[in-house]
Amino acid sequence: MTIPFLRCLHLHMLVCRRNQGFSQELSKSDISLENGDEGNVSLVASLVASDVFELPVFTFEGKENSGVGDILQENISTNEHSSAFSAKLTETLRYESGSPDHNTLPLYDVKMESRIDLGGIPLSSSRFIGDVSNGSHGLLSSEIQSHGISDLELSKGQGNHCDWDNRISDASELLIFDSSTGSEACRVQDQNLVTQNAEYFASLPLILSESQENIDESSQKTQPCGSTLALVENTINNPPTNHDKETGELDRMDQLTHVLSSVCQDNDEGIVDATGQLVDEAMNSTTVDDKVESQHQRGVRRRCLFVEMGAAHKNNLHNGSDSDSSRSVKDDANVTSDDRQLVPFKAGNGSSTCMLPSIGLHLNALATTSKDSRMVLQENPDSGRQSIKMSSSIGSLRFLKVAQTLHIQRDSRSIGGDEVMQDASCTPAIGTGEELNRSTPKRKRRKLDAGENEGCKHCNCKKSKCLKLYCECFAAGIYCVDSCSCQNCFNKPMHEDTVLATRKQIESRNPIAFAPKVIKSSDTYSDSGDDANKTPASARHKKGCNCKKSSCLKKYCECYQGGVGCSISCRCDGCKNAFGRKEDTVLVGANEAEHGEEESDTCEKNGKVGSPENDGIQKDGQQYHEGVLPITPSFQVCSSSGKLPFLSGGKPPRSSVVSIGSSKLNSCGMLRKSKILLSAPKFEKHFQIVPEDETPEILKLNTSPISTVKSSSPNSKRVSPPHTDFGLSPSRRSGRKLVLQSIRPFPSLNYDAIDQSPPRYQ
DNA sequence: GAGTTTGAAACT
DNA sequence: CAGTTTCAAACTC
Ligand SMILES: [Zn+2]
Ligand SMILES: [Zn+2]
Ligand SMILES: [Zn+2]
Ligand SMILES: [Zn+2]
Ligand SMILES: [Zn+2]
Ligand SMILES: [Zn+2]
């Protein structure tokens, strides 16, 4: 029951890694789906119903159609083995992480994740992992489970939202961050989210059916199956409602935001976060069209669709044309990114163990060490919002995992670049990330297409052995993958000891060395209410750039590359940063907040629209909310597992930071990470870290208030860090100081580990 | 794909 | 901390 999100994350991770492998299986399942749309749907529904919590999806099997059924059954069976699997999974995960390529079920995974998220069902992360571990099948099962759970709960009583709410609340918070980043609408409060989630769940069955219908209707979809995924894809491909693609995206975002907002409004509790992301994507994909009306329902439906789609999609993909599949994959990736963001929620429960096996991230190794940390969600009485605090490693781990998944996805899929970053950006969701960065990557991907997407990055090191920050992989906290063109690479799981030791050394010199390069701070007033206004969040490069010849107009500039404007921390000459000139910030001075907003806006715009260069600036990165930590090892404590951030970018990061909603997610990484966290909550100041494109997943901690953290979750270890911080002198300056504090996480990890519990690393 | 430019990372 | 070197990405062609 614990935390669905986590599971989702794990699933994602797993999925991503295994995507390839799954694809085969999926193809089968897909086929079955294609044969009968209804059948698919039914399957899903059945699954949902059957599964209560965890693994056992058994019932499904019986229900399942022959084609799909086989696959599902297999999955299920594997799930049953869960315990054993879990162990295996961990291993596999790592392995995978090491070589994301292995499995490529990405689509599925993604879908799985989304579903899970939607379900919001609290599963023990561990179980999930175990499920996942089983293999592709496991993934499916996991999804199924999630659904099943959701359904069950829902079925029991939509009326009983309470449980969900509670569960969700945590998740929702996490989600919220993401959502917030993504869409202003998200502002809605976390609590609301929860309720919504409950509704979602309840509605899920319906949704499924509907979703199919919608698919058929709405999308002419090429794919007969009409799985929700297909729909989504279709919508994505063809901007749903009418909007031109570009505008369409924006519109989508807007719509999504609107929808979300409306939903939020509707529900006091508003679920936004996790669902929000999903919703967003779904919204985007499906069609923003419907916006208003039962937004909730739709949102739910969409989500459901997503989830379902995920499954269906997979199927479709296989059957469908390659292009479709690719698309679907992207979508999945996006979803995952979202999930990532969601994930952060809480690892909370003791199950943290799950995290252990993470994937490719360097952190993974660390993860084993500390499980202590947990994410704590605090509710601020004041605002009512809840701040999630991840103290723990677990959260970090999850993030990491997420990030890894993102990475993996990137590798395998090479999703489009930016997106979320997803936001990673994932972040706070961090996750955001990755980069999360990396979100809606699929859609964005379309745009980006090109090469690197967020996720796709690969290094080409010749002399650094991939053990220095010169190496983007190493810097991102991830292991090199097959797609890397590095020479004499030591940044591989087999050299884990060396990697970790090197990391440690580097961190000792510079605590924030592995922190996301872009930090988002919502300072100022914004918090209070609304920071939201948007404003806020001004994302900035953690160290500022030192450009002399590029005028901060090219990606040589890390600020520009990160999709953020230059700040007083920058020492650039002739700054013309399209996301915001240094001068502007300086001048503004007091007004910083405003500027920040502006900048942020600009960024978003850029990202979404086109950033200057379509390329994607790395927005992928997910911005982490204050607390969110990057994957850095520090997190590791908790997360050792995860690897890299991913942040984001995972999210599939969209180009712009903003993204999440708007999308900045980097799909890749994370995420796109994706995502930017807009809202900071009410806390004093929230800083979000935006991982760059890829930052692996992000851990989202609520830093801001360290105090809060403590208060909130006594359980959790104290994150307190000295903040003194890491030393970012510049950032410290005036306003930014806060940021640094918020940032603490990175180092914090270490601290935690070190101070209290020695890092497990060694 | 080779070659150049660039600015961060690393080194002194 | 500044200056220099090293490095790999970003960019150009
Ligand atoms: Zn490298
Ligand atoms: Zn590499
Ligand atoms: Zn390498
Ligand atoms: Zn610059
Ligand atoms: Zn700058
Ligand atoms: Zn500049």
Question: pLDDT class for A471, splitting at 50, 70, 90?
Answer: very high
Residues with CB under 5 A from ligand 3 (ion): A 466, 480, 484, 486, 489, 491
Could you tell me the distance, in angstroms and rounded to a whole number, from the CA of residue A569 to the centre of ligand 6? 9
Q: Is the CB of A545 under 7 A from strand B?
A: yes
Considering the entire predicted model, what is its pTM? Answer: 0.44
Q: Which bases in strand B are touched by protein, i.e. have an atom under 7 Å from a CB? A: 5-10
CA A453 to C1' B2, whole Å: 24
Mean pLDDT along residues A539-554: 92
pLDDT higher than 50, residue A386:
no
Q: Is the dihedral of CA A17, A20, A22, A26 positive or negative?
A: positive
Q: Is the CB of A480 under 7 A from strand B?
A: no
pLDDT digits (tens, 9 = 90+) for A565-617: 999 999 999 999 999 998 877 665 545 444 444 444 443 333 333 334 444 55
pLDDT higher than 80, residue A426:
no
**Which residues, 6+ apart, have CB-to-CB distance to A505 below 8 Å?**
none
Mean pLDDT along residues A187-206: 36
Could you tell me the distance, in angstroms and rounded to a whole number, from the CA of residue A566 to the centre of ligand 4? 7
The pLDDT of residue A599 is: 40
Higher pLDDT, A759 or A536: A536
Measured CA to C1', the nucleotide nearest A571 is: B7
Mean pLDDT along residues A337-345: 33
**Which residues, 6+ apart, have CB-to-CB distance to A612 below 8 Å?**
A553, A578, A606
Q: What single letter denotes the amino acid at residue A616?
A: G
Q: Could you please report the per-residue DSSP string of A438-449?
A: B-SHHHHHHHH-
CA A426 to C1' B8, whole Å: 24
CA A133 to C1' B9, whole Å: 38
CA A163 to C1' B6, whole Å: 55
Mean pLDDT along residues A67-95: 37
pLDDT higher than 50, residue A218:
no
Q: Is the CB of A13 under 7 A from strand B?
A: no
Could you tell me the distance, in angstroms and rounded to a whole number, from the CA of residue A323 to the centre of ligand 4? 38
**Which residues, 6+ apart, have CB-to-CB distance to A512 below 8 Å?**
A542, A543, A725, A726, A727, A728, A743, A746, A747
Question: pLDDT class for A548, splitting at 50, 70, 90?
Answer: very high
Q: Is the CB of A460 under 7 A from strand C?
A: yes
pLDDT digits (tens, 9 = 90+) for A512-533: 999 989 887 654 333 333 333 3
* pLDDT above 90 as % of chain A: 12
Could you tell me the distance, in angstroms and rounded to a whole number, from the CA of residue A518 to the centre of ligand 6? 14
CA A580 to C1' B10, whole Å: 29
Whether A234 contacts A218, CB under 8 Å: yes
Q: How far apart are alpha carbons A484 and A479 in whole angstroms?
A: 10
The pLDDT of residue A584 is: 79
Could you tell me the distance, in angstroms and rounded to a whole number, from the CA of residue A600 to the centre of ligand 6? 15
Q: How far apart are alpha carbons A429 and A693 in whole angstroms?
A: 15
Longest CA pairwise span in chain A (Å): 68
pLDDT digits (tens, 9 = 90+) for A618-666: 444 334 343 333 343 333 332 322 233 333 333 333 333 333 333 333 3
DSSP state of A617: -
Could you tell me the distance, in angstroms and rounded to a whole number, from the CA of residue A135 to the centre of ligand 6? 47
pLDDT higher than 50, residue A76:
no
The pLDDT of residue A537 is: 53
pLDDT higher than 50, residue A137:
no
Mean pLDDT along residues A729-741: 39
Could you tell me the distance, in angstroms and rounded to a whole number, from the CA of residue A539 to the centre of ligand 4? 14
Phi, psi of A270 (to 5 degrees): 35, 120
CA A11 to C1' B3, whole Å: 44
Question: pLDDT class for A436, splitting at 50, 70, 90?
Answer: very low
Pick from A370, A417, A440: nearest CA to A398: A370
For residue A461, which ligand has an atom nearest its CA?
1
Mean pLDDT along residues A10-36: 34
Six token digits for residue A555: 């990606």
Whether A541 contacts A559, CB under 8 Å: yes
Helix (H) or strand (E) holding A520, with range, is strand A518-522
Most confident of A255-269, A439-453, A539-553: A539-553
The pLDDT of residue A412 is: 39
pLDDT higher than 80, residue A482:
yes
The pLDDT of residue A158 is: 39
Question: pLDDT class for A487, splitting at 50, 70, 90?
Answer: very high
pLDDT higher than 80, residue A562:
yes
